[in-house]
Structures are given as C-alpha cells and as structure tokens.
Amino acid sequence: MKVDGRHFRSIWLEPDGWSVGAIDQRRLPHDFVVARLTTGDAAVDAIRSMLVRGAPLIGATAAYGMALAMRADGSDAALDRAYKSLIAARPTAINLKWALDEMRSLLRPLPPAARAEAAYSRAGAIAEDDIAINQGIGRHGLALIESVAAAKKPGERVNVLTHCNAGWLATVDWGTATAPIYLAHDRGHAIHVWVDETRPRNQGASLTAWELGHHGVPHTVIPDNTGGHLMQHGMVDLVIVGTDRVTANGDVCNKIGTYLKALAAHDNGVPFYVALPSPTIDFTVDDGIREIPIEQRGPEEVSHMTGRTSDGRIETVRIVPDGSPVANYAFDVTPARLVTGLITERGVLKADRAALAAAFPERIAAAAE
C-alpha cells in the first residue's frame, strides 16, 4: 500500500539481494523508519521486540530469518538453531510455525551449500503468496460489504468495526481484515471504520488508524470499551477482525478484547467476521480456549503509555500507581459459535470443522502426517 505516495510492503528483500528491509512498527505512527535485518538473530529480535508483528508478517519474517541464517551457515546445526530460536520468538501466532516448517522441510534434504539460495526463493514465495491470499480475502469480503451497502439508503455509509491491526502492516501487503475495506473504498463505496484503540499496545490507534489514514479511508478511533454502545445504537453494520490462530473447529484466537466484541456483536445481532489466510488455521488443535498458548507480555505495556508531546518529543509515562500489580494477556479466544463467518482466500466459510476441512483438504491431510 502507499505511504506518502510511495508503494511499500511491510517487508522486502533489499536491492543488495540478501538483506531484508522492514518497517519498524514500534516507531509508528509518529516516525516512519525502515530497519535492515542482516542476520537470523536480527530477525528473531525483530519478531520478539515487535519491530514486526501480526501473524502473517511474523511468518514471512521468520522465513527470511531462516534465509539470513542459511546465508551465514548452511549446516544442519545452523538450520536447527535458527528454527529453534525463531519459533521461540512469539508463542501464539501459528503462521510462525507454519512458515518455519515449510522452510525446514524444504531445506533439510538439500546439501548445505544449496540451502541459502533455496531459502531465499521460498521466503520470497511465502511473501508473494501472502499478498495473493489477502487479495482473495479482499474479494470475498467485498461481497459481504456490498450486500450491506445494497440495503442502505443513498448516501449512507457502511460502518465496519475492527480490533487491533489486521491491516497491511500485519501482513506483507493489503492486510486480512482490511483487504475488503480497501477494495470497497477503492471501488467507491462509502465506508467508515471504527478503529478500536486496542490497549495495551494500541495497535489500532497507532497502526490501523495510520494505514487507513494514508489510504484515505474514513475512520474514527474509539476506546476499546465503546463498541458495545455503538452496536446498541445501530452504528456498526459488521465487525471484521484478523486472527493469530484458528482451530480445526473454528475457534478464533486474536488480540485480547476480541472476545468481548464478539459477545457484544452476538447480543446486538451484528455480524462478526474473521478474516484469515489459510496458514493461520491450526488443524492440530480443536479447543482454542484450552489448547492455544496465550502470550503474556511485560507489565510496562499496561502500566505505561508512550506518545508524542506537543513539542514533538516521544515520551513514556507511568499511568498506574507504583506498586500496583498488572496483568498483560496478549490474546483471547472467541468460540466458533460467536463467529458469523471466516473470510478466507477460498470463500466465506462457516466457523466449523466440516467447512474448514472441505475448503482446505490438503492442510488437514498435512496435519495428520
């Protein structure tokens, strides 16, 4: 997507043909800074520190991280080391494991001297596939938005609520939840997005608002507690969120607070959709609440807030009394029964085992191996 008129992806291969460029998302929305990753360890650090974040982008970064590691040393030991450190970087998004398994199963049978080239080629393909998948999600999601628009009076806009950042910054390009929104906007539909600020990391306020604004999509940032009120007053037509992992039976793990939005949507008859690329489906897991590991992050994300002062300085301030303990669960699980539909690259599916298995038979077969 465009940043100040220039096309960017969230991650790319630099013109030198080996180092990897990425937008440093820790600096947004106040500064647009590009980072250059030159080692496998730098990729681990980029994922762990949330320089990059969002399930599909974490997967693509891990794939490039593997390529960087193989460039330095193509041995079995280096391959195992890179896999182990990358997979430990963040626990919840399954795209990380998916991408690393893809890379390892390709590289392991090759002679060490051939691994770097093969790794770069597969990492590039994972990135390109992510874009194509998101465009597919966009087309299927657009039909949902268009059917809401068709029932509106002339001049009325379609109001979508989203949580966290499942935009192009969380993927390689286009985003998952945002792909239908960008397509609808580009086709001239009147669309407006309620952007949950998404405490404690504020991915909505800092990232989703930034990218929607750069693309010219009308949006309003709201405190996380506001969605229920808006739904009670008919101000939300549909909810579209992303996800970090969907289980075989359609449970959805996503940024903390997603479950509460699903409950509010259910109570108010507002459709609740989840947009996902197929690498986000984990066919090895059934019960999302019991089986998905939920990342717990540092207390300072809750106890402190960072922002720009009126004189332009970036400052971090404490907002919790000294000594008060805080809890920071990064994700929650929305049970499949609260999900209206899963927007995938192969269509809008019911959130259940039969629909997922019918749409992605090759994934379920691979999971059984």
What are 73's two structure tokens?
């040393």
Q: Is 244 a catalytic residue?
A: yes
Among 94, 97, 188, 171, smallest CA distance to 135 is for 171
Residue 119 CA to residue 116 CA, distance in Å, equals: 5
Q: Residue 55 interacts with ligand MRU (CB under 6 A)?
A: yes
Q: Which two tokens stand for residue 234?
A: 């008919």
Q: Binding to ligand MRU by residue 212, rule CB under 6 A?
A: no
Give the other-Cβ count within 10 Å of 267's Cβ. 11
344 near ligand MRU, judged by CB under 6 A: no
Site residues (CB under 6 A) for ligand MRU, limited to 162-191: 164-166, 170-171, 176
Q: In whole angstroms, what is the distance from residue 62 CA to residue 97 CA? A: 9
Structure-token pair, residue 281: 């489906």
Say if strands 2-3 and 6-7 run parallel, antiparallel, or are unpaired.
antiparallel
Q: Would you say 78 or 343 has its CB closer to ligand MRU?
A: 343
Residue 238 burial (CB count, 10 A)? 22
Q: With binding defined as CB under 6 A, does residue 203 bind ligand MRU?
A: yes
With H, G, I as helix, E, B as strand and everything else as coil, classify residue 298: coil
Residue nearest to ligand MRU (CB): 242
* Closer of 219 and 255 to ligand MRU (Cβ): 255
Question: Which one among 13, 235, 320, 330 touches ligand MRU, defined by CB under 6 A?
Answer: 330
Cβ partners under 8 Å of residue 113, min gap 6: 74
Q: Do residues 250 and 350 touch, judged by C-beta distance below 8 A?
A: yes
Q: Does 244 bind ligand MRU (CB under 6 A)?
A: yes
How far is residue 78 CA from its own chain's centroid? Answer: 28
Question: Is residue 11 involved in binding ligand MRU (CB under 6 A)?
Answer: no
Exactly one of 243, 247, 278, 340 binds ligand MRU (CB under 6 A); which one? 243
Mark 85-114 with x for binding to ligand MRU (rule: CB under 6 A) and - for no binding.
Answer: --------x---------------------
Q: Is 254 in the site for ligand MRU (CB under 6 A)?
A: yes
- How many residues interact with ligand MRU (rule CB under 6 A)? 18
Judged by the rule CB under 6 A, the positions of this chain that interact with ligand MRU are: 53-56, 93, 164-166, 170-171, 176, 203, 242-244, 254-255, 330
Instruction: Point out the residues that are catalytic.
Output: 244
